[in-house]
């Protein structure tokens, strides 16, 4: 680096001229300056120029931004370039390497740096970088060789072989040993490479494991007896089975041995190579029975009978398996057998048996005889619980002899109706040996049915037309029989009305014969229902009487009742009827066809049309009159009812206190008549009754009440004040 100076002097001039340029070559910072002097002796110093020289290139270092695992990356790898500058100018910039995005082995990124002096470093390389993003591959292989059918018969281990073409396999999982019998088992494993990539789980081929030998059995039918022999053909049935891998080949065929034979040992295998064996077998067969003979110690008599005990002995032989047992001698004494058979048996060692029998007969027992009862058709019958039959009885005898046999037996006996004590039937039987026995049977037979009777109470219908009308009808049942007592079914009492029913009883004698009696019964204890009018009130129309209509009726539960009859006292009345003034009781009755009668009554009240007094008497005021005058008291009864209209003792006069009448309006009697006494008359022209009331002179200064009461019970009154 050359540093030049520029000098100016406008006066005396420079001594020696301006300073020559200075060349600086040393690295580092070199300060450069110069001084000049003019001829007048003045000195000037230049400014200091620091000359910086860097001739040394910087040093670059390339590094990955992340650390590897086991020296491997399995993701993109970014790099950075770091520079240093020893020349002093410092690093100005560094290049940026490309990111590694593909799998590689030993990849080196490159970069350079430039310092502030413009020096460029040499190309730097990173350490070798390995990138692996692919998981390893693997195989899971069972160890050992299966059978030709693809089955193992011992525990199976597995080999896992991993492969990774870049980072290499780091580790693999190890499947468990297959020790459980099964078919189609697949072991599974994974592998991981050095970059940390783990494979998907991989399965082995299907592995079949069968460690169990097949079942192999032989059934010998029948099996040998305790002596090792059979006495029939022997069947050898083989059963082979393997529930997992299956049999390798067929099971030995079944066979039947008809004679003694030796059977070789046998072996079967399953498809996994497991085997099962059966030992050799020796079969001994003897199907020929032994021989046996029975011999009595003496011969029977000409009739084939023994009179004393006899001993039977036995002789036994066998030509093959040999005699195992032979019957011992047997002594037969007196027995109840119909000829006793003595049997002896011989058995050989194979179980074959043969018997020999000899029948001997000893008879000291009487025959048996029994009697039984049958009907005429031969069907068995028995007496009833009372010991009686109600049909003809055939007594049949049954005879038996267990030894020499029956010689005679009685014929059947027919029994008809017997006396009360029955009939005794006797029979006797004898056997071939001359023994005899008899039996008797008492038979009671009643062939005649009893009679049956029903006696009602009351004995006959107590009503009309064959009807009972009591509170109830009871029945007594009875029967008679020529031989035995009789029982009859009871009949319940009839307590409810019924239009007609038939009661029945059945009488049974001790032999079971029956008779039936029946009795029709009509029972009505309910009287008819009367429908009567209520109390009737009528107005007298003349002669103190009135014609009154009325309606009566009756109904009954079963029968049509007779017409209702009504009476007043003992006099029959029908609607309409004439009734006198007053209250009359009408009694009515109705009778149904059974004779039940209902009675009832109603009243008829006939009254006068008595409305009060006419003028000159005022019923609502205080009538005033002279004491001793005769006052005409006029009234109407709706016509001429005769003169006997007043109730006995009426009219009546009662003295009353005048002070109680202060509120009444006085009304003077305008009309009086001349009369020596009181009297009652009827004025046909006016249609009125006139009662001439002869007052007393002693009533002067008093108040009196006049009361008129008629025979129908009605009354009217008026008050008077006399002067």
CATH class of 529-607: mainly beta
Please tell me the number of Cα atoms within 13 Å of 699 on its side-chain side: 24
Please tell me the predicted confidence (pLDDT) of residue 376. 95
Provide CATH code, domain 613-722: 2.60.40
DSSP, collapsed to helix, strand or coil, labels residue 648 as: coil
Cβ–Cβ under 8 Å, residues 722 and 702: yes
User: Which one, of 277, 263, 155, 280, lies nearest residue 215 by Cα?
Assistant: 277
- Architecture of the structural domain at 59-131: Sandwich (2.60)
Query: What average pLDDT does the chain have?
Result: 92
The single-letter DSSP state of residue 661 is G
CB burial of residue 61 (10 Å; 0-12, 13-18, 19+)? middle
User: Which one, of 647, 636, 639, lies nearest residue 582 by Cα?
Assistant: 647
Distance CA 402, CA 364 (A): 11
Cβ–Cβ under 8 Å, residues 151 and 120: no
For 517-566, the pLDDT digits (tens) are 999 999 998 889 999 999 999 999 999 999 999 999 999 887 776 789 99
Where are the domains positioned within the chain? 2-53, 59-131, 137-209, 215-283, 291-360, 368-443, 451-523, 529-607, 613-722
Cβ–Cβ under 8 Å, residues 87 and 41: no
Domain 137-209 classified CATH 1.10.1660?
Answer: no
Rounded to an integer, what is the distance from CA 363 to the centroid of its chain? 71
CB burial of residue 198 (10 Å; 0-12, 13-18, 19+)? middle
DSSP, collapsed to helix, strand or coil, labels residue 630 as: strand
Distance CA 436, CA 202 (A): 107
pTM: 0.41
Distances (CA, A) of 396 to 378, 414, 429, 443, 612: 10, 9, 13, 12, 115
Report phi then psi at 229, rounded to 5: -120, 155
Residue 18 — left, alpha, or beta (φ > 0 → left; ψ -120 to 50 → alpha)? beta
Q: Which residues of the chain register pLDDT less than 50?
A: none
Cβ–Cβ under 8 Å, residues 156 and 207: yes
With a CB cutoff of 8 Å and minimum separation 6, the contacts of 713 are 582, 607, 647
Please tell me the predicted confidence (pLDDT) of residue 544. 92
For 373-422, the pLDDT digits (tens) are 999 999 999 999 999 999 999 999 999 988 877 888 999 999 999 999 99
Question: Which residues, listed in sequence order, are joined to residue 656 by a DSSP beta bridge?
Answer: 703
Distance CA 362, CA 339 (A): 7
**What does the block give as tokens for 144?**
């050992």
**What does the block give as tokens for 205?**
């081929």
Please tell me the predicted confidence (pLDDT) of residue 10. 81
The single-letter DSSP state of residue 307 is S
Please tell me the predicted confidence (pLDDT) of residue 561. 66
Cβ–Cβ under 8 Å, residues 3 and 21: yes
3-state helix, strand, coil in the chain (%, to 5): 0, 50, 50
Q: Do domains 529-607 and 613-722 have the same CATH topology?
A: yes
**What does the block give as tokens for 14?**
């420079």
User: Which one, of 268, 278, 266, lies nearest residue 246 by Cα?
Assistant: 268
């Amino acid at each position: 680096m050359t540093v030049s100076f520029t000098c100016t002097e406008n006066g005396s001039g420079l001594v020696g001229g301006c300073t020559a340029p200075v060349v600086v070559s040393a690295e580092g910072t070199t300060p450069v300056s110069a001084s000049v002097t003019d001829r007048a002796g003045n000195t000037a110093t230049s400014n200091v120029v620091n000359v910086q020289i860097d001739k040394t290139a910087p040093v670059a270092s390339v590094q990955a931004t992340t650390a590897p695992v086991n020296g491997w990356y399995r993701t993109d790898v970014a790099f950075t370039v770091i520079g240093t500058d020893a020349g002093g100018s410092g690093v100005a910039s560094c290049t940026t390497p490309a990111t590694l995005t593909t799998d590689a082995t030993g990849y080196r990124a490159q970069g350079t740096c430039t310092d502030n002096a413009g020096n460029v470093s040499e190309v730097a390389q990173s350490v070798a970088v390995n990138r692996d993003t692919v998981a390893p591959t693997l195989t899971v292989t069972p160890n050992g060789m299966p059978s030709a059918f693809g089955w193992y018969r011992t525990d199976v281990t597995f080999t896992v072989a991993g492969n990774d073409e870049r980072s290499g396999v780091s580790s693999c999982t190890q499947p468990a040993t297959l020790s459980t019998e099964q078919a189609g088992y697949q072991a599974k494993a994974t592998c991981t490479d050095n970059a940390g990539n783990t494979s998907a789980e991989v399965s082995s081929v299907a592995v079949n494991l069968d460690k169990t030998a097949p079942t192999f059995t032989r059934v010998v039918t029948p099996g040998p007896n305790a002596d090792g022999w059979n006495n029939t053909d022997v069947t050898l049935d083989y059963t082979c089975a393997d529930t997992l891998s299956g049999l390798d080949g067929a099971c030995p065929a079944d066979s039947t041995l008809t004679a003694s034979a030796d059977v070789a040992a046998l072996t079967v295998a399953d498809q996994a190579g497991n085997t099962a064996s059966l030992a050799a077998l020796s079969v001994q067969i003897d199907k020929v029975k032994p021989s046996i003979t029975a011999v009595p110690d003496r011969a029977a008599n000409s009739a084939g009978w023994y009179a004393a005990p006899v001993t039977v002995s036995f002789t036994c032989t066998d030509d093959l398996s040999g005699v195992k047992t032979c019957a011992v001698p047997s002594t037969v004494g007196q027995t109840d057998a119909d000829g006793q058979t003595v049997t002896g048996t011989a058995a050989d060692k194979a179980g074959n048996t043969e018997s020999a029998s000899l029948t001997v007969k000893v008879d000291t027992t009487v025959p048996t005889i029994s009697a039984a009862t049958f009907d005429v058709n031969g069907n068995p019958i028995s007496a009833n619980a009372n010991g009686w039959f109600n049909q003809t009885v055939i007594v049949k005898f049954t005879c038996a002899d267990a030894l020499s046999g029956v010689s005679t037996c009685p014929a059947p006996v027919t029994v008809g109706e017997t006396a009360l004590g029955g009939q005794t039937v006797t029979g006797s039987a004898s056997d071939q040996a001359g023994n005899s026995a008899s039996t008797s049977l008492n038979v009671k037979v009643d062939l005649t049915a009893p009679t049956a009777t029903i006696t009602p109470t009351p004995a006959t219908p107590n009503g009309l037309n064959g009807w009972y009308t009591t509170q109830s009808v009871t029945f007594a049942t009875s029967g008679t029989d020529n031989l035995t007592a009789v029982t009859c079914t009871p009949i319940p009492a009839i307590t409810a009305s019924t239009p007609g029913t038939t009661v029945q009883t059945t009488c049974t004698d001790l032999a079971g014969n029956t008779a039936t009696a029946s009795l029709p019964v009509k029972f009505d204890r309910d009287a008819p229902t009367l429908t009567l009018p209520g109390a009737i009130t009528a107005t007298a129309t003349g002669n103190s009487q009135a014609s009154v209509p009325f309606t009566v009726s009756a109904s009954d539960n079963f029968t049509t009742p007779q017409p209702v009859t009504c009476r007043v006292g003992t006099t029959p009345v029908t609607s309409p009827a004439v009734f006198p003034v007053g209250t009359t009781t009408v009694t009515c009755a109705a009778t149904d066809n059974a004779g039940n009668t209902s009675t009832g009554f109603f009243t008829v009240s006939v009254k006068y049309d008595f409305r009060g007094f006419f003028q000159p008497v005022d019923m609502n005021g205080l009538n005033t009159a002279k004491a001793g005058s005769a006052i005409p008291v006029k009234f109407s009864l709706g016509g001429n009812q005769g003169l006997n209209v007043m109730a006995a003792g009426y009219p009546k006069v009662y003295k009353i206190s005048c002070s109680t009448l202060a509120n009444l309006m006085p009304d003077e009697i305008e009309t009086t008549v001349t009369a020596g006494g009181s009297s009652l008359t009827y004025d046909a022209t006016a249609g009125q009754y006139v009662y001439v009331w002869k007052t007393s002179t002693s009533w002067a200064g008093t108040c009196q009440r006049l009361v008129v009461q008629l025979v129908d019970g009605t009354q009217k009154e008026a008050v008077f004040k006399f002067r």
